Amino acid sequence: MSPMITSILILSLATGTIITMASFHWLLAWMGLELNTLAILPIISKSHHPRATEASTKYFLTQAAASALILFSSVMNAQATGQWGILQLEDPLAQTLLTMALAMKLGLAPAHFWLPEVLQGTSFKTGLIIITWQKLAPMTLLLLTWNQASMLTLTMMGSLSVIVGGLGGLNQTQLRKIIAFSSIAHLGWMATIITKSNKLALLNLTMYILISTPMMLSLIFSSTKTTQDLTTSAPSPILAPLT
């Protein structure tokens, strides 16, 4: 992929997230999410490996379904209330559908199955974008509608994500799948916390990004892909008993 195309895709990725974070209209927020999804797809499949193509297809189908559900819930809310504003989410069914759609975009259980497969099929650099930058737009919508979202749905999906993320990474040797289940568990804690305080959830998201970014960068620089690689790439065998 040429540097010009890569620059355009990265710019589109940033633009889509900024549009969603700065909008107070559901159509603009949906447009930013769609731009975000379309920009990341060529980045995921740029290696032209069958596994990367499969990962990009799974990512596209999941994100497109979630975006369609967001648009459907916003139309239902507009039909019931006559309002298109993000802060005027008053229809109960629209609240539940929107919560489920944002949970699908984030990768909360039980809609988490795409995240480990997508991360395993792409590079660590793209995986870093998926688990950090790609979470900003849906988390922003969740933080904006935290007092209007379905608290029961968020609590149930968040609690299930903590369990699935904690247990799912135990029997894995691929670091990308371990990171994916770790992301699911962290997002579960954020979804559970956001029902009590959106400021604490924002702090949790910030800490998650600050921890995940240097960890992923260290794995990228050391070319470490499995737990077995940790024992050979480490300067001392201190990590050997842990693998």
Q: Is 204 exposed, middle or buried (0-12, 13-18, 19+ CB in 10 A)?
A: buried
The pLDDT score that the predictor gives to residue 229 is: 73
Question: How does residue 90 score in pLDDT terms, banded at 50, 70 and 90?
Answer: confident
Per residue in 182-208, pLDDT (tens digit) is 999 999 999 999 988 888 999 999 999
With the CA atoms of 52, 54, 60 and 65 taken in that order, what torsion angle do they form, in degrees rounded to the nearest 10?
-150
Average pLDDT of the residues in 215-242: 71
Say which amino acid occupies 83: Q
Per residue in 132-148, pLDDT (tens digit) is 999 999 999 998 888 88
Residue 148 within any structural domain of the chain: yes
Residue 53 within any structural domain of the chain: yes
Q: Is 166 exposed, middle or buried (0-12, 13-18, 19+ CB in 10 A)?
A: middle
The pLDDT score that the predictor gives to residue 234 is: 52
What number of helices (H) and strands (E) belong to the chain? Answer: 11, 0
Total domains, the chain: 1
90: CB partners within 8 A, 6+ apart: 77, 80, 81, 83, 148
Question: How does residue 235 score in pLDDT terms, banded at 50, 70 and 90?
Answer: low
Residue 174 within any structural domain of the chain: yes
The pLDDT score that the predictor gives to residue 243 is: 44
Per residue in 25-36, pLDDT (tens digit) is 899 999 999 999
pTM: predicted TM-score of the whole model, two decimal places: 0.88
The pLDDT score that the predictor gives to residue 233 is: 58
Per residue in 114-172, pLDDT (tens digit) is 999 999 989 889 999 999 999 999 999 998 888 887 788 889 999 999 999 999 888 88
Q: Is the pLDDT of residue 224 over 90?
A: no
Residue 242 within any structural domain of the chain: no
Range of 157's domain?
A: 3-230
Average pLDDT of the residues in 219-233: 78
241: CB partners within 8 A, 6+ apart: none
Task: Report the distance separating Cα 153 and Cα 158, nearest Å.
Answer: 8
Dmax (CA) of the chain:
64
For residues 40 and 60, the answer to whether their CB atoms sit within 8 Å is no
Residue 237 within any structural domain of the chain: no
Residue 74 within any structural domain of the chain: yes
Residue 67, CB-side half-sphere exposure with 13 Å CA sphere: 20
Residue 115 within any structural domain of the chain: yes
Residue 243 within any structural domain of the chain: no
The pLDDT score that the predictor gives to residue 104 is: 93
